[in-house]
Amino acid sequence: LVASTGVIGEHLPLEPFATGIPLAALELSVASGGANAARAIMTTDARPKEAAVTFSGDGIGYDGCTFTVGGMAKGSGMIMPNMATMIAVLTTDAPVRPDALHAALSRAAGRSFNKVTVDSDTSTNDSCFLFSNGGATSSTVPFHPGSPALARFEQALEAVCQNLARQMAADGEGATRLVTVNVTGAATPADADAAARAVANSPLVKTAVYGHDANWGRVAMAIGKSGAAFRQEDAAIDIMGLPVCRGGLTVPFDEDEALRRFENPEIAIDVDLGAGDAATTVWTCDFSHDYVTINGDYRS
């Protein structure tokens, strides 16, 4: 399976593959092989991205077994699936059939990799692979749809995917903060997604976070232009747990306390549209001067 990201339109030279693939294969069983691979796929990433979760087979038909879901990913800019400049490779030693793996990965990606945006731009290339070898058990019975075993596996898979997705958002090009946008009270899931993405993709919101400015008007602007159905007088906005807007109107808050909370590595923006029961979460990052520097010099 071939995966690549890079400058669009530039063909990969094949010569390095002739020597690189055999050398890489020799490292597959080395204890440090996974970490080395995570570093090898980095491009503008500032750090490698790995995650793993284990779960017990006790009580789900595989007593005494411990299963693992692990993975690595790269992606730092031109990130807003679908598609995005990202690669994710996930593995498990749980016995899961290919059709069940595909369905589980589709669901997990929808709640993780497809909920990330760094700069709202989508690329021509992304890949997400999930492999299973069943090596953690001698049983020949695979996890089957509807079983407690598959449900526990899917929970672990989603945890790994969300961990990697959050790492990608936090490592956005030039980013200084991970930004989590929570939208509740939407009329439909599509409205929740539209409102959350509008906030997460807004350059004004992202630069406000970078400037440590709790300017809730920029959040209100974003949900207003999103197309989501709601009434202004029903909307509420919190920034880092501080109520800043209720009933569509300003709420006095402590600016010094807001500045203190901006020192946290993760900034939460919570929006309640007051229009229904649908909700979602999207992860993004702030925009700094370094984003312009990185992308202005991308090909040089």
Which residues are tagged catalytic? 85
How many other CB atoms are there within 10 angstroms of residue 75's CB atom? Answer: 31
151 residue type, one letter:
A
Alpha carbon separation from 293 to 16, 30, 173, 174, 300 (Å, rounded): 29, 37, 9, 8, 11
- Which residues lie closer than 8 Å to 258 by C-beta, 6 or more apart? 212, 214, 239, 240, 242
Please report the DSSP string for 58-81 in residue order.
TTTT-TT-EEEEEEEEE--SS--S
Angle at 136 between CA 105 and CA 147, to 5 degrees: 50
Tell me the C-alpha distance between 232 and 92, whole Å. Answer: 47
End-to-end CA, the chain: 29
Tell me the C-alpha distance between 206 and 18, whole Å. Answer: 43
Of 196, 212, 198, 70, nearest in space to 135 by CA: 70
How many other CB atoms are there within 10 angstroms of residue 114's CB atom? Answer: 19
How many other CB atoms are there within 10 angstroms of residue 124's CB atom? Answer: 11
